[in-house]
Amino acid sequence: MTFDASTTADEVLAGVDLTGRTAIVTGAGSGIGRVTAAALARAGATVVAGVRDPAAFDLPGVEARRLDLADLDQVAKFAGTFDTADMLINNAGVMACPLTRVGAGRELQFAVNHLGHFALTRHLWPALLRGADAVVVAVSSNVRPDAPIRWDDPYFVAEPYDRWAAYAQSKAANALFAAHLDVLGRPHGVRAVSVHPGAILTPLQRHLTREEMVAAGWIDAQGRAAEYFKTVEQGAATQVWAAVTPSVAGVHCADCAVTPFRPDPADAARLWALSGRLTGLPLDRVGAATGLLPG
């Protein structure tokens, strides 16, 4: 079967047996994360949803555990509940929110979209090593090669906050993270890939007004999505496809295919080092015993 922008997650997984494999999906409380978790469970995987409020989560065949990506101590606690992980779908995200600081002054979009997932992956490293052909999927966006990382001011302290620049930085970081993780993980049988799920109307847009979305051409005056928008089932397809396609590694994908975009390796390594410093997980703390990746 040929997959494209119209493909759904269930179509990707048709005939795929994931029995015996453990999948972790962050941000599975709604949107494409919820659809991803459900599709993987229907294919036989043991699925754990990382959500902020497990008591409010109800999805047949999927277990919920508390995960707040803005709280690095809680991230470590969540990761410590796993002995084995075969798939890690870093799906959770925040978009275009007002300036919000968490922890030690971290800007929320960079903290949740990138640093929380960076820390989660680092802490899950022993579990991924025990997995069978483990894969980490970073849900990015339609990143541009020139989307900047604010190396000296990632939290918008020195300069005024721009919610879209902050979002673009976090999504570029997702792609850079996956590129370098694949380099580090490849010798250990762990692959990584970043994906653009496409344009989908989900709770991700909660911080945007109706007027803003109309002005952007995303919806019309009646609230109907533009023709190029996907359904949530279609939006979940690429991350599921990347997770179950072993030949896809170290690349950026969209519409269930590999895109030409390639993150700069030097920037990817630089971001890895910066992220280690910002999360308190520096590169000199290595080894499976600590749960951290080699640098």
What local confidence, expressed as pLDDT, does residue 81 receive?
98
Is residue 185 assigned to a domain?
Answer: yes
DSSP 16: -
Q: How far apart are CA 235 and CA 32, in angstroms?
A: 6
Instruction: State the total domains in the chain.
Output: 1
Active site residue 155: no
Q: Where residue 150 sits, what CATH number does that domain have?
A: 3.40.50.720
Token readout for 255 is 């519409």
Is residue 4 assigned to a domain?
Answer: no
Is residue 131 assigned to a domain?
Answer: yes
What local confidence, expressed as pLDDT, does residue 148 receive?
85
What local confidence, expressed as pLDDT, does residue 288 receive?
39
Token readout for 52 is 């902020």
| Domain span holding position 153 | 9-205+232-279
Are the C-beta atoms of residues 5 and 230 closer than 8 Å to each other? yes
Q: Which residue positions in the chain have pLDDT lower than 50? A: 284-292
Which of 155, 161, 167, 228 is labelled catalytic?
167
Report if pTM > 0.85: yes
DSSP 288: T
Q: How confident is the model over 65-88, as pLDDT tens digits?
A: 999 999 999 999 999 999 999 999
Bridging pattern class, strands 135-139 and 191-196: parallel
- Percentage helix, strand, coil for the chain under 3-state DSSP, each rounded to 5: 40, 15, 45
Is residue 95 assigned to a domain?
Answer: yes
Q: Is the dihedral of CA 204, 230, 64, 130 positive or negative?
A: negative
Is residue 153 assigned to a domain?
Answer: yes
Is residue 285 assigned to a domain?
Answer: no
With vertex at residue 137, the alpha carbon angle to CA 259 and CA 45, rounded to the nearest 5 degrees, is 125
What local confidence, expressed as pLDDT, does residue 234 receive?
98
**What is the CB-side half-sphere exposure of residue 285 using CA atoms within 13 A?**
13
What local confidence, expressed as pLDDT, does residue 287 receive?
43
